[in-house]
């Protein structure tokens, strides 16, 4: 079995990692259905999947004694002088099957273990644009919960002799994430990308993973050798430290709780807020259902206070953001500045007579509404993250649109404006237009 050793500088010490293909059966490139972070038809996308194990030693980063810990990562840390006995985690690589399609960009996601096992929310929201670009995606199980969850959920693959994933704890996760990215950026005998010429490596994290990456960027990265060329923080916190790497943060309406805590835009930072979108809306729900059925035998049923799952397509804005980030790190152009959501009080969002949020990036589903979509909800489990979706009745739709043509023209106009502003890609504008044209809005 081919093994490559990598050396990564960590403060005054060094940490090493080895990369090996995941053992078969199944063979490399043919992962078990219940081991892959996606259920999409990769052949249709023109992509292939591979899995690797990364093992070695990592350093722990922890708050300095006597200094306070803060959730947003604004605390001083120091590495332990002695590395952990060892770690072994997994990396999943999704890349173009045809190497000629590869555009040089690799997105490395800190996989999200929020439900006790690793998920790839960034892959879900970006896979359409990844395929359009011809980029590669790498999912890293960096958190202890994700590694332990994979081993417990799929013991035959991740708990067996030869695999036996092990994680020494989340204080080591920052170094593990960086080492995994270094294996992408500087391959040795085992090349995770099969010989593709990597030009830029971008870190992405959503929700809980964005919080982990915030700590990494704020207080760990200054003590390590830089690995990433740029960062995307999605539906979660973003760093307060000003560094040289470009950062873009994309937030749903759910995630914006006050106008008082915004980091202002700068030469290396952009913050986008999307009106009506939920932290985890309808798109995420539809994507997760086949994964839940595949891995757990049934979809999860939620009972929320209001009808859940906003249908404002947050992924469309996220896709645009990733393209901007790739160009930004190349020095081509910075992303556009975006308007902020409006507030009528310290924690109260301003809304129109229909109950829709004002300000922020207004996609056509929001600016040309057919339903009440918000980022707010309540109830058990994850309901607070799902937002609300309540279709308008016929009378309300009749008061908004005198005929179908007016509705479709309005959608086209808003999408053109968002495309010109840089918040929407042309392919998504065409999909919105098709959806509007095939709808019954304004036909009665």
Report d(CA 327, CA 80) in Å as an integer.
Answer: 37
Specify the pLDDT at position 21. 62
Instruction: Calculate the alpha carbon distances from 329 to 123, 200, 394 in Å.
Output: 20, 8, 48
Q: CB neighbours (10 Å) of residue 316?
A: 29
Q: Show pLDDT as tens, one digit a residue, over the chain (444 residues).
A: 223 322 222 222 234 467 666 544 333 334 445 567 787 888 888 998 888 888 888 888 877 665 555 544 555 666 676 666 689 998 999 999 999 999 999 999 999 887 767 878 888 888 888 999 999 999 999 999 999 888 887 787 787 655 688 899 888 899 999 999 999 998 877 889 989 999 999 999 999 999 999 999 998 898 888 999 999 999 999 999 999 999 999 999 999 999 998 999 999 999 999 999 999 998 888 877 877 777 777 888 889 999 999 999 999 999 999 999 999 999 999 999 999 999 999 999 999 999 999 999 999 999 999 999 999 999 988 999 999 999 999 999 999 999 999 999 999 999 999 999 999 999 999 999 999 999 999 987
Question: In which element (H, E) is residue 211 found?
Answer: helix 208-215
E-strand spans in 59-199?
Answer: 61-63, 77-79, 87-96, 105-110, 136-140
Distance CA 286, CA 170 (A): 30
- Could you tell me what percentage of the chain is helix, strand and coil, using 3-state DSSP and rounding each to the nearest 5? 35, 25, 45
Residue 213 DSSP symbol: H
Q: Which helix (H) or strand (E) holds 54?
A: strand 47-56
Torsion-angle region of 195 (φ positive above 0: left; ψ -120 to 50: alpha; else: beta): left
Q: Of 191, 94, 180, which is closest to residue 143 (Cα–Cα)? A: 180
Q: Which pLDDT tens digit goes with each residue over 321-337?
A: 999 999 999 999 999 99
Predicted pLDDT of residue 420: 98
Contact 233, 248 (CB under 8 A): yes
140 touches 227 (CB < 8 A): no
By CB neighbour count within 10 A (0-12 exposed, 13-18 middle, 19+ buried), where does 21 fall?
middle
- Tell me the two tokens of residue 423: 């918040």
pTM for the complete prediction? Answer: 0.90
State the pLDDT at residue 424: 98
pLDDT score, position 20: 64
Q: Given phi > 0 = left and psi -120 to 50 = alpha, else beta, which region is 355?
A: left
Q: What angle do CA 401, 405, 410 make, to 5 degrees?
A: 65
């Amino acid at each position: 079995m081919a093994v490559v050793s990598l050396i990564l500088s960590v403060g005054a010490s060094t940490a090493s990692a080895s990369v090996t293909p995941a053992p078969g059966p199944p063979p490399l490139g043919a992962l078990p259905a219940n081991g892959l972070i996606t259920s999409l038809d990769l052949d249709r996308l023109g992509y292939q999947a591979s899995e690797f194990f990364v093992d070695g030693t990592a350093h722990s980063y922890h708050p300095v004694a006597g200094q306070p810990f803060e959730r947003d990562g604004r605390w001083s840390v120091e590495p332990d002088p002695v590395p952990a006995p060892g770690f072994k985690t997994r990396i999943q690589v999704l890349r173009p099957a045809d190497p000629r399609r590869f555009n040089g960009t690799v997105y490395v996601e800190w996989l999200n273990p929020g439900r006790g096992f690793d998920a790839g929310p960034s892959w879900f929201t970006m896979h359409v644009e990844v395929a359009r670009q011809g980029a590669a995606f790498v999912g890293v199980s960096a958190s202890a919960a994700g590694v332990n969850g994979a081993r417990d959920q799929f013991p035959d693959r991740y708990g067996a002799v030869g695999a036996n994933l092990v994680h020494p704890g989340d204080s080591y996760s920052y170094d593990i994430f960086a080492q995994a990215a270094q294996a992408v950026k500087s391959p040795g005998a085992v090349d995770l990308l099969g010989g593709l010429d990597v030009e830029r490596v971008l870190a992405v994290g959503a929700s809980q993973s964005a919080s982990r990456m915030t700590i990494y960027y704020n207080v760990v990265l200054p003590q390590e050798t830089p690995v990433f060329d740029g960062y995307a923080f999605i539906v979660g916190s973003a760093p307060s430290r000003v560094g040289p790497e470009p950062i873009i943060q994309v937030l749903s309406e759910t995630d914006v709780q006050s106008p008082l805590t915004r980091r202002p835009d700068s030469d290396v930072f952009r913050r986008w807020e999307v009106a009506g979108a939920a932290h985890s809306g309808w798109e995420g729900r539809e994507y997760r259902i086949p994964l839940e059925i595949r891995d757990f035998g049934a979809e999860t049923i939620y009972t929320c206070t209001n009808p859940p799952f906003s249908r404002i397509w947050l992924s469309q804005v996220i896709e645009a953001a990733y393209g901007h980030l790739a160009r930004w790190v190349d020095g081509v152009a910075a992303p556009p500045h975006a308007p902020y959501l409006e507030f009528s009080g310290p924690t109260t969002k301003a809304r129109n007579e229909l109950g829709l949020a004002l300000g922020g990036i207004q996609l056509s589903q929001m600016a040309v509404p057919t339903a009440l979509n918000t980022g707010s909800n309540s109830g058990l489990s994850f309901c607070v993250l799902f937002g609300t979706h309540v279709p308008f009745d016929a009378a309300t739709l009749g008061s908004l649109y005198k005929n179908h043509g007016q509705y479709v023209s309005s959608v086209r106009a808003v999408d053109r404006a968002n495309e010109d502003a840089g918040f929407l890609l042309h392919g998504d504008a065409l999909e919105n237009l098709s959806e509007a044209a095939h709808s019954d809005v304004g036909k009665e």
